[in-house]
């Protein structure tokens, strides 16, 4: 049976955080507020918990969850390298709605799914989320919804979809924006592809909370140009 805690009430917040930590330690799932949409979370270093997260959402291993962290030091521990342009992005836009895909630290023992050696990392700008992450360490977190449904912007929306597959729901009120994070792929700044004849570029995988214009203001020509409609129709990279 799942439990829901109102994080606007100090007593419930303390109890909810305690229950959430305990659930994560047991390999169970929680739902937590973030600055974008609500997330369903599991211990990133417990493969069975990550699989439980994928199963709850109805997703396969080909859609591995991102990892939320409490600060830049955690990013450095999870990825192989933080290139200088990525450091600029982090300094300007974290905490916030930017998820960054980089080559994962090879020495880590974890299984997020079929990641092809990468990890998607974000630091959310939300007090409850950051406090929980500081206590639990990195969490595998995906939007709190069933695959194919809209991302939940409240704990009750998440509970209506995910039910008792989640042990603890932390209710932080309605999400401020309801806009998912922007996802960028910066892997070529670390590892260049054999077929990449040009300069390494940062590619936008999903436009969301952080605009292309904002990314351009920081990265300049390092940001891959937007595809023209003709290119998009042809599937040209």
What is the structure's pLDDT at 16? 98
Cβ within 8 Å of residue 143, ≥6 positions away: 37, 38, 39, 40, 151, 152, 180
- Return mean pLDDT, the chain: 92
Sheet holding 30-32, edge to edge: 3-6, 168-171, 30-32, 39-43, 139-143, 67-68, 118-122, 98-103, 182-185, 203-206
**CA atoms in the 13 A half-sphere facing the CB of 50:** 22
Contact 1, 166 (CB under 8 A): no
Q: pLDDT grade, residue 234 (50/70/90)?
A: very low
Query: Is 228's pLDDT higher than 70?
Result: no
**Residues comprising the chain, all counted:** 237
What is the structure's pLDDT at 195? 54
Of the listed ranges 130-134, 173-177, 190-194, 207-211, the one predicted with least confidence: 190-194
For residues 230 and 211, give the distance between their C-alpha atoms in angstroms, rounded to a whole number: 22
- The DSSP string of 173-232 is -S-SS-PPPEEEE-GGGTS--TT--S---BEEEE--SS-HHHHHHHHGGGBPPPPPHHHH
What is the structure's pLDDT at 199? 77
- The DSSP string of 156-178 is HHHHHHHGGGSSEEEE--S-SS-
Q: What is the pLDDT of residues 94-145, one digit of tens each?
A: 999 999 999 999 999 899 999 999 999 999 999 999 999 999 999 999 999 9
Q: pLDDT grade, residue 10 (50/70/90)?
A: very high
Q: Does the model's pTM come out above 0.85?
A: yes
Q: What average pLDDT does this structure show over 68-82?
A: 97
Query: Is 26's pLDDT higher than 80?
Result: yes
What phi-psi label fits residue 11: left (phi over 0), alpha (psi between -120 and 50 degrees) or beta? Answer: alpha
Contact 222, 137 (CB under 8 A): no
Query: Is 194's pLDDT higher than 80?
Result: no
Cβ-based neighbour number of residue 218 at 10 Å: 16
């Amino acid at each position: 049976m799942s439990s829901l805690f109102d994080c606007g009430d100090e007593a419930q917040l303390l109890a909810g955080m305690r229950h959430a930590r305990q659930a994560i330690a047991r390999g169970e799932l929680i739902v937590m507020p973030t600055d974008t949409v609500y997330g369903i979370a599991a211990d990133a270093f417990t493969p069975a918990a990550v699989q439980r997260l994928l199963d709850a959402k109805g997703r396969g291993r080909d859609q591995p969850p991102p990892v939320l962290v409490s600060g830049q030091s955690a990013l450095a521990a999870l990825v192989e390298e933080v290139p200088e342009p990525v450091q600029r992005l982090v300094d300007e836009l974290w905490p916030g709605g930017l998820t960054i895909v980089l080559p994962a630290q090879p020495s880590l023992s974890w299984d997020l799914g079929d990641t092809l050696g990468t990890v998607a990392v974000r630091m959310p700008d939300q007090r409850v989320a950051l406090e929980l992450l500081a206590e639990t360490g990195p969490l595998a977190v995906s939007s709190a919804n069933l695959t194919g449904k809209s991302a939940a912007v409240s704990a009750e929306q998440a509970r209506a979809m995910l039910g008792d597959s989640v042990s603890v729901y932390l209710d932080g009120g309605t999400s401020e924006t309801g806009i998912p994070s922007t996802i960028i792929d910066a892997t070529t700044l670390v590892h260049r592809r054999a077929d990449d004849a040009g300069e390494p570029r940062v590619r936008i995988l999903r436009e969301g909370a952080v605009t292309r214009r904002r990314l351009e203001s920081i990265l300049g020509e390092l940001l891959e140009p937007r595809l023209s409609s003709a290119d998009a129709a042809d599937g040209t990279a």
